[in-house]
Amino acid sequence: MRIVLLGGGGHASDVLGALEALNAKSCNGPGIFIEVAGILADDDVAPERFGHRGIRQIGNIDDLRHIDATHYIACVGYPKGRKSVVDRANDHALAPFTVIHPRAWLSSDVVIGAGAVILANACISASVTIGAHACISNGAIVGHDCRIADFVSVMPGACISGNASLGDGCMIGANATVLEGLSVGAWAAVGAGAVVTSHIPENVVAKGMPARHA
């Protein structure tokens, strides 16, 4: 299996670490080894970020059609940027690859969309649905029966309580909390450390305890 990473920032470094852990733990299935073809990014990637891991930038995202690979991962931390990358990648024949770090814990009935990324020490409880290209970051907690839509980002240490709903492309900041049964609308952003105690509409920024529209 040969994968190309789309994006060369900090999130790409986290994703690469998850792939390295999967190879080290042989969690990919019999005879499957994940080979990273390289990084495609529109901006120049500092060689020192990935060079010591044997990975280099091999072009920009528009070069995807020329890359010898079978799968891609959209390695952009922010939802709108990640969606833009996926929209461009969908013009090509490569398939999105779903990443689940071997140190993440998932209930057996979790449903995960194509291209989603679940990083180390994330905890995903029963009957959760996670959309395509969503990212559940390091140490985040998602409670039972939550609905996580496409392109959502749940940042490190965030806690999504049971029966919550996160709309397309919303972002939950580091160490923020969404209380049980509440919803965060599409493309909204919840600030780091905020506590969501009421429904958050689409396309707003909410901060504080309790979280209020900025």
pTM of the model: 0.94
pLDDT in tens, 168-213: 999 999 999 999 999 999 999 999 999 999 999 999 999 999 999 8
Considering only CA atoms, which of 58, 77, 56 is closest in space to residue 66? Answer: 58
In total, the chain counts a number of residues equal to: 214
- Contact yes or no for 59/39 (Cβ under 8 A): no
Q: How confident is the model at residue 24 (pLDDT cuts 50, 70, 90)?
A: confident
Instruction: Write the CA distances from 100 to 6, 79, 80, 152, 198, integer angstroms.
Output: 17, 18, 22, 16, 31
Residues 83 and 61 in one domain: yes
Q: How confident is the model at residue 46 (pLDDT cuts 50, 70, 90)?
A: confident
So what's the pLDDT on residue 67? 87
The residue to which tokens 């970051």 are assigned: 137
Helix, strand, coil distribution of the chain in percent, nearest 5 = 20, 30, 55
- Contact yes or no for 130/114 (Cβ under 8 A): no
Residues 25 and 92 in one domain: yes
Residues 86 and 152 in one domain: no
- Is 202 contained in some domain? yes
Residues 77 and 107 in one domain: no
Q: What is the separation of C-alpha 26 from the centre of its chain, rounded to a whole number of angstroms?
A: 22
- Catalytically active residues are 144
Alpha helices in the chain (DSSP H): 10-25, 47-50, 79-89
C-alpha 175/C-alpha 139 separation (Å) is 9
135: domain CATH number is 2.160.10.10
- Is 212 contained in some domain? no
Residues 161 and 190 in one domain: yes
So what's the pLDDT on residue 65? 84
Higher pLDDT, 179 or 28: 179
Range of the domain at 59: 2-97
- Contact yes or no for 181/198 (Cβ under 8 A): no
So what's the pLDDT on residue 64? 86
Q: How confident is the model at residue 140 (pLDDT cuts 50, 70, 90)?
A: very high
> Is 77 flagged in the annotation as binding?
yes
Q: Which of 97, 120, 138 is the last residue of a domain?
A: 97
Residues 85 and 132 in one domain: no
So what's the pLDDT on residue 30? 57
Residues 64 and 104 in one domain: no
Judged by DSSP in three states, 140 sits in coil
Residues 181 and 202 in one domain: yes
- Is 42 contained in some domain? yes
C-alpha 125/C-alpha 81 separation (Å) is 28
55: domain CATH number is 3.40.50.20
- Contact yes or no for 163/146 (Cβ under 8 A): yes
- Is 129 contained in some domain? yes
Q: Which of 55, 73, 97 is the last residue of a domain?
A: 97
Q: Which of 97, 124, 158 is the last residue of a domain?
A: 97
Residues 112 and 187 in one domain: yes
pLDDT in tens, 59-112: 998 888 888 899 999 999 999 999 999 999 987 878 999 999 999 999 999 999
So what's the pLDDT on residue 66? 86
So what's the pLDDT on residue 213? 85
Residues 88 and 131 in one domain: no
- Is 213 contained in some domain? no
Q: Quote the number of domains for the chain.
A: 2
Judged by DSSP in three states, 112 sits in strand
So what's the pLDDT on residue 45? 87
Is 70 exceeded by the pLDDT of residue 31? no
- Is 214 contained in some domain? no
Residues 10 and 31 in one domain: yes
Rg (C-alpha) for the chain, rounded Å, is: 17
Residues 69 and 48 in one domain: yes
- Contact yes or no for 142/128 (Cβ under 8 A): yes
